[in-house]
Amino acid sequence: MSQQLDAQLANVGTRFLIFPQPRFLTKDDGTPVFPEPEEVIVSVPPAEMQPGPADDRMFVVDAVEKLPYNRLTRPPYRGPARPPVSPGPDGHFTHLDPDSREFSAATMYATVRRVLDIFEDYFGHHLEWHFDATFSRLELIPLIEWDNAQSGFGFLEFGYGRTPGGTIDHTRPYCQNFDVLAHELGHSIVFSEVGVPSSPLDEGIDYGGMQESSGDLTAIVALLHFDSFVKHLLGTTKGNLLTVNGLDRVGELSDSRQIRVAFNSRRMSDVGPEPHERSLPLTGAIFDTMVEVFQQELVQNGLITADLRDRSTQLPGSVTDLRQIQADFEAAYQGQEKEFERALLNARDYLGRLLAVTWGSLSPDFLTYHDVLRALVRADRTVSGGANQAIIRACFAWREIAPSPDSVLLHQHTLQDCGLRTAQPVEDATRTIFVNGAGADRPRQVSSGKRKRSS
């Protein structure tokens, strides 16, 4: 969501509370990283908000004693449910106790609605559900007795995390995990805008990796819309984002366990066909692109030196004193906090728009990562006028994302391959090329010193 639209919603939207990151994440001293939820605004005006919460695109149903959907069952849920959550007297949902079941229902709705708002703004148009031929609205089920969560055709339903002993941990509801919800909605966006492979001969190896990468990137861009998270991120890293930071802990399950890693050193030669593993080089290349664009603006605005930017990159030959790099960022960040924040938000909006244009241009059939790269390069011409072409190419080259060795794109074509041949030229002859090897040399026709056109 652009910074401009976010400001506009402040006067018209409905307010909710969301924790930017899981509540159980703690600092070194044991205190929560985000002890309080942050107020966010969704695009639906209070007058159009329905109890649930619900609107014309999605609705929450707090099911009672529901089993997870499976291949034999799917929406709509028709079993017993708790009363829908209503707004406060002011028409907003900021009055709910974060420890209540009502808060879980409201924050699940708000997260999905917020992420949808963000990417509809980047796409510049209404995003249709991929299941709209069957269901008009997305069904959201916040809390079922299950140590898992899932998205499916027309629904999202979430349970809880697990305790070390393997039982359900009711203190860790997945519906309050912003990253996980945003990731799952990212899948829906790709299903809608890119589609799915149509040929049974298409194994969809890179398509699967692209899907998982897109979910992670959706979460990263959406997470950067929390003011508290942006301040925490920059306050911790001082702008040196190529270190272990909050963005590389997407969908965190605990302080030490991660299910996604945005900042990683994986290249294509390091991964296999499993979608989550295969997503890492693509996610890393696009994440690196955002960081490089962020640092490029810092250089252009005189906030850091070009030398510091070059030393903090992941590209080959960049191994240097990491402590000195961090010290240099800390010195540059001091007193320039607002300028660093503005540069990061600009890089965020660039990435969001770049992804939207890219996804909108991709074909799912026999998709390769090189197709994604080509689409990104072309999208950059639309988004930035081609200002970041070199950055994108360098980040993807480092990840070894290129045409496969047997790709038709790498084939060389001679004139004979193309069915075009020429004979040896002779004096006073005009060389003419015919298709299918019917080449010949025609003598020039000269009259009164003037060249006549051959018919």
User: Does 429 share its domain with 385?
Assistant: no
How many angstroms separate the CA atoms of 20 and 114, rounded? 12
Q: Which two three-digit tokens encode residue 193?
A: 């805008």
Answer yes or no: pTM beyond 0.75.
yes
Q: Which residues pair with 429 in a beta bridge?
A: 443
User: Does 392 share its domain with 245?
Assistant: yes
Q: Which two three-digit tokens encode residue 384?
A: 């930035």
Number of domains within the chain = 3
Asked if the structure places residue 198 within a domain, the reply is: no
Can you give the pLDDT at residue 1?
61
User: Does 442 share its domain with 372?
Assistant: no
- Contact between 371 and 362 (Cβ < 8 Å): yes
Single-letter amino acid, residue 353: R
The CATH number of the domain holding residue 85 is: 3.10.170.10
Asked if the structure places residue 230 within a domain, the reply is: yes
Choosing from 175, 193, 211, the residue where a domain stops is 193
Q: Which domain holds residue 178?
A: 1-193
Asked if the structure places residue 146 within a domain, the reply is: yes
Asked if the structure places residue 71 within a domain, the reply is: yes
Its sign, for the CA torsion 24, 41, 290, 196, is positive
User: Does 103 share its domain with 226?
Assistant: no
Asked if the structure places residue 185 within a domain, the reply is: yes
Can you give the pLDDT at residue 254?
41
Asked if the structure places residue 258 within a domain, the reply is: yes
Q: How many CB atoms sit inside 10 A of residue 89's CB?
A: 6
Long-range contacts of 163-171 (CB under 8 A, 24+ apart): 171/24
Can you give the pLDDT at residue 412?
81
User: Does 329 share its domain with 366?
Assistant: yes
Q: Which two three-digit tokens encode residue 99?
A: 């420890």
User: Does 223 share its domain with 94?
Assistant: no
User: Does 226 share its domain with 339?
Assistant: yes
What secondary structure, in 3-state letters, does the chain show?
Answer: CCHHHHHHHCCCCEEEEECCCCCCCECCCCCECCCCCEEEEECCCHHHCECECECCCEEECCECCCCCCCCCCCCCCCCCECCCECCCCCCCCCCCCCCCHHHHHHHHHHHHHHHHHHHHHHHCCCCCCCCCCCCCCEEEECCCCCCCEEEECCEEEECEEECCCCCEEEEEEHHHCHHHHHHHHHHHHHHHHCCCCCCCCCCCHHHHHHHHHHHHHHHHHHHCCCHHHHHHHHHHHCCCCCCCCHHHCCCCCCCCCCCCCCCCCCCHHHCCCCHHHHHHHHHHHHHHHHHHHHHHHHHHCCCCCHHHHHHCCCCCCCCCCHHHHHHHHHHHHCCCHHHHHHHHHHHHHHHHHHHHHHHCCCCCCCCCHHHHHHHHHHHHHHHHCCCCHHHHHHHHHHCCCCCCCCCHHHCCCCCCCCCEECCCCCCCEEEECEECCCCEEEECCEECCEECCCC
Phi, psi of 451 (to 5 degrees): -80, 130
Nearest to 22 by CA among 145, 158, 152, 113: 158
User: Does 101 share its domain with 155?
Assistant: yes
pLDDT in 10s for each residue of the chain, 455 residues:
677 777 888 889 999 999 998 888 887 788 888 899 999 999 999 999 999 999 999 999 999 999 999 989 999 999 999 999 999 999 999 999 999 999 999 999 999 999 999 999 999 999 999 999 999 999 999 999 999 999 999 999 999 999 888 899 999 999 999 999 999 999 999 999 999 999 999 999 999 999 999 999 999 999 999 999 999 889 988 999 876 555 555 555 444 333 346 777 899 999 999 999 999 999 999 999 999 999 999 999 999 999 999 888 754 445 557 788 889 999 999 999 999 999 999 999 999 999 999 999 999 999 999 999 999 999 999 999 999 999 999 999 999 998 877 777 777 877 887 788 765 555 555 544 444 444 444 444 444 444 444 44
Asked if the structure places residue 278 within a domain, the reply is: yes
Can you give the pLDDT at residue 248?
55
- Contact between 154 and 75 (Cβ < 8 Å): yes
- Contact between 186 and 194 (Cβ < 8 Å): no
Q: Which two three-digit tokens encode residue 442?
A: 């025609």
User: Does 89 share its domain with 217?
Assistant: no
Phi, psi of 109 (to 5 degrees): -60, -50
User: Does 185 share its domain with 213?
Assistant: no
How many angstroms separate the CA atoms of 21 and 35, rounded? 10
User: Does 218 share its domain with 107?
Assistant: no
User: Does 188 share its domain with 282?
Assistant: no
Asked if the structure places residue 131 within a domain, the reply is: yes
How many angstroms separate the CA atoms of 357 and 385, rounded? 13
Q: Which two three-digit tokens encode residue 95?
A: 């009055």
Give the CA distances from residue 114 to residues 18, 126, 178, 413, 447, in Å, rounded to whole numbers and listed in that order.
Answer: 10, 14, 10, 51, 78
How many angstroms separate the CA atoms of 174 and 164, rounded? 16
